[in-house]
């Protein structure tokens, strides 16, 4: 376990959903935190509660000079910045998504130039081949399966993350850089985007349930399965990873206990108190059939597993969203 006390730590994308929770986790460990974010998806409101305890740089990491300035004088870098959105956004904006490759290159090479002690790259479960996620009873995904059966991520976003992983491994081999790679699986929680243009499944369902939308339409047929993890648990896993595994060998951070989209939709209706019948729209993008993580490496190497029960996490997410809606006089 690393002692973060007084260490200068950079979080790219630190005003975003996962990034802001990681900032909270690092501050609890007494790190000296710097955040860089262009605020295209991240929000100042996500770090408003800790703005006096961090250094904030508004900058576009597509610019190599911005990346070098952000990395200068830091001991560790947690790289989360990426172009991302919901299923619809990632399907309709392929060129935009691939800007992440440039962002990754700028940060990784800046860390090399500035001799940063440790770098963590946040990859994604979207790197796994689609043909390993086609059955409802699909076995949990093991880290080596990303390339073992041929690379075939489920989206352009997945390709950008896989390219980032391979680049990290090349820098580790070439320069001996200490690099960690984590693959989060379906995180959710407070501060996630509830914007209908780019929200993921849980905030999308929760927003529409709070608004009492009728008909209550859910994409797919309800049999798709996902292993959701609460964002606070994920932030803890990310911090543990940079201290325990720096050989650029990816590690899953997720759950091996999936729920179907039908189950999650019904649970969202339950916690929001909305008695509605679900209408299934099978003409919309559904994603892969089943996605769950093999957690052996996370347990054995990090001693980590998610702790927050799904219903509890949904309630925390709902309470945050209702407060946000009240503060902005919207639902």
Secondary structure (DSSP) of 224-254: -EE--EEHHHHHHHHHHHHHH--BS--EEES
263, part of any domain:
no
Flag whether pLDDT at 34 surpasses 50: yes
Flag whether pLDDT at 230 surpasses 60: yes
Give the contacts of 254 (CB within 8 A, at least 6 positions apart).
Answer: 125, 183, 184, 185, 186, 227, 229, 292, 293, 295, 306
Tokens of 143: 């880290």
Mean pLDDT of the chain: 93
Kindly indicate the confidence band of residue 331, based on its pLDDT and cuts at 50, 70 and 90: very low
Low-confidence winner among 88-102, 103-117, 263-277 (lowest mean pLDDT): 88-102
182, part of any domain:
yes
Flag whether pLDDT at 137 surpasses 60: yes
Please, what is the end-to-end C-alpha distance for the chain in angstroms? 42
Beta strands 278-281 and 216-219 are parallel
DSSP 49: G
283, part of any domain:
no
Q: In the chain, pLDDT over 70 holds for what percent of residues?
A: 97
Task: For residues 86-103, give the mean pLDDT.
Answer: 84
Contact at 8 Å (CB) between 206 and 165?
no
User: Three-state DSSP class for 35?
Assistant: strand
pLDDT tens-digit map of 272-298: 999 999 999 988 877 788 889 999 999
Contact at 8 Å (CB) between 206 and 268?
yes
274, part of any domain:
no
pLDDT tens-digit map of 1-24: 799 999 999 999 999 999 999 999
Which of 128, 157, 171, 188 is labelled catalytic?
157
Secondary structure (DSSP) of 61-102: TTSHHHHHHHHTT-SEEEE-------HHHHHH-HHHHTHHHH
| CATH number for 37 | 3.40.50.720
Return d(Cα 10, Cα 8) in angstroms, integer. Answer: 7
316, part of any domain:
no
pLDDT tens-digit map of 185-222: 999 999 999 988 778 899 999 999 999 999 999 989 99
**How many domains are contained in the chain?**
1
| Structural domain range at position 182 | 8-192+227-257+290-308
199, part of any domain:
no
133, part of any domain:
yes
Residue the block writes with tokens 């339950």? 270
pLDDT at 198: 77
Beta strands 54-58 and 178-184 are unpaired
| Contacts of range 37-42, beta carbons closer than 8 Å, 24 or more positions apart | 37/12, 37/13, 37/81, 38/81, 39/15, 41/16, 41/84, 41/85, 41/193, 41/198, 42/13, 42/14, 42/15, 42/16, 42/17
Please say if 274 is a catalytic residue.
Answer: no
Task: For residues 28-43, give the mean pLDDT.
Answer: 96
pLDDT at 86: 65
pLDDT at 87: 66
167, part of any domain:
yes
Flag whether pLDDT at 164 surpasses 80: yes
Per-residue CA distances from 41 to 61, 83, 106, 208 (Å): 13, 8, 19, 21
Task: For residues 296-314, give the mean pLDDT.
Answer: 96
């Amino acid at each position: 376990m690393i002692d973060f006390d007084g260490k200068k730590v950079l979080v790219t994308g630190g005003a975003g959903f996962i990034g802001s929770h990681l900032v909270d986790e690092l501050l609890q460990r007494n790190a000296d935190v710097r955040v860089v974010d262009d605020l295209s998806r991240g929000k100042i409101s996500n770090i408003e509660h800790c703005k006096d305890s961090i250094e904030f740089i508004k900058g576009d990491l597509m610019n190599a000079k911005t990346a070098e300035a952000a990395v200068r004088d830091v001991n560790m870098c947690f790289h989360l910045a990426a172009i991302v959105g919901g299923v619809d956004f990632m399907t309709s904006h392929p060129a935009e998504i691939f800007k992440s490759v440039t962002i990754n290159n700028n940060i990784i090479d800046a860390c090399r130039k500035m001799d940063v002690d440790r770098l963590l790259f946040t990859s994604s479960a979207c790197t796994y081949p689609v043909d390993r996620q086609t059955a409802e009873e699909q076995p949990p995904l093991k880290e080596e399966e990303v390339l073992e059966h041929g690379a075939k991520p489920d989206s352009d976003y997945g390709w950008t993350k896989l390219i980032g992983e391979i680049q990290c491994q090349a820098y580790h081999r070439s320069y001996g850089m200490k690099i960690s790679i984590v693959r989060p699986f379906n995180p959710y929680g407070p501060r996630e985007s509830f914007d209908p243009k780019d929200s993921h499944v849980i905030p999308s369902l929760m927003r529409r349930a709070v608004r009492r939308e009728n008909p209550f339409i859910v994409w797919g047929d309800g049999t798709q399965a996902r292993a959701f993890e609460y964002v606070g648990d994920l932030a803890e896993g990310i911090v543990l990873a940079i201290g325990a595994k720096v050989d650029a060998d990816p590690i899953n951070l997720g759950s091996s206990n999936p729920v179907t989209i039908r189950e999650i939709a019904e649970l969202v209706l339950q916690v929001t108190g909305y008695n509605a019948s679900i209408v299934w729209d099978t003409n919309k993008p559904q994603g892969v059939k089943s996605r769950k993580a093999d957690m052996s490496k996370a347990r054995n190497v990090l001693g980590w597993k998610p702790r927050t029960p799904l219903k509890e996490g949904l309630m925390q997410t709902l309470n945050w969203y209702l407060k946000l809606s009240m503060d902005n006089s919207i639902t």
